[in-house]
Amino acid sequence: MKKTLLLISFIIFSSFNVFAQKQKDYKSSEVIISKDFENKLDPIKSNFNRINSIKIWSKIKEVETDDSTEGGFINYYFLNDKLEKIVVRKFGESGQYLAEYYLLNDK
């Protein structure tokens, strides 16, 4: 009986060790992938920071929406007649939806 319990404990312990090793390998590969994409994200990050540093917009156009239960609105932010940012906010019975879009090269 003791040998059986010892064998079962060994099997359980061994399986935890295998899963832990797999997770560690996954996390290390995830970091490598993130570093590969870092250079591709730099223009997006700098555009995000540039747009959010703007304090005075030349024009802000607000449009009401009725496609949610409690309504909402879309704000279009212009700088020198060029659309830079869109903020969508929709209200519902149990919360709200918020999405922000930052334009880069008119896209």
Q: Render pLDDT for 94-104 as a digit per residue (tens, 0 to 9).
A: 888 899 999 99
The tens digit of pLDDT for each residue in 13-52 reads 555 544 444 454 555 555 565 676 778 888 899 999 999 9
**Domain carrying residue 49:** 1-53
pLDDT digits (tens, 9 = 90+) for 53-70: 999 999 999 999 888 778
- Residue 38 falls inside a structural domain: yes
Per-residue pLDDT, 37:
75
Residues 88, 98, single domain; the answer is yes
How many Å apart are CA 78 and CA 59, to the nearest integer? 5
Looking at the structure, do residues 39 and 82 belong to the same domain, yes or no?
A: no
Assess if residue 93 is contained within a domain.
Answer: yes
- pTM equals 0.63
Whether 41 is covered by a domain: the verdict is yes
Nearest to 101 by CA among 81, 84, 79, 89: 84
Domain count, the chain: 2
**Is residue 72 in a domain?**
yes
Q: Identify the CA nearest to 83 among candidates 65, 99, 63, 61.
A: 61
Give the domain-ending residue among 53, 70, 92: 53
Residues 44 and 58 in one domain: no
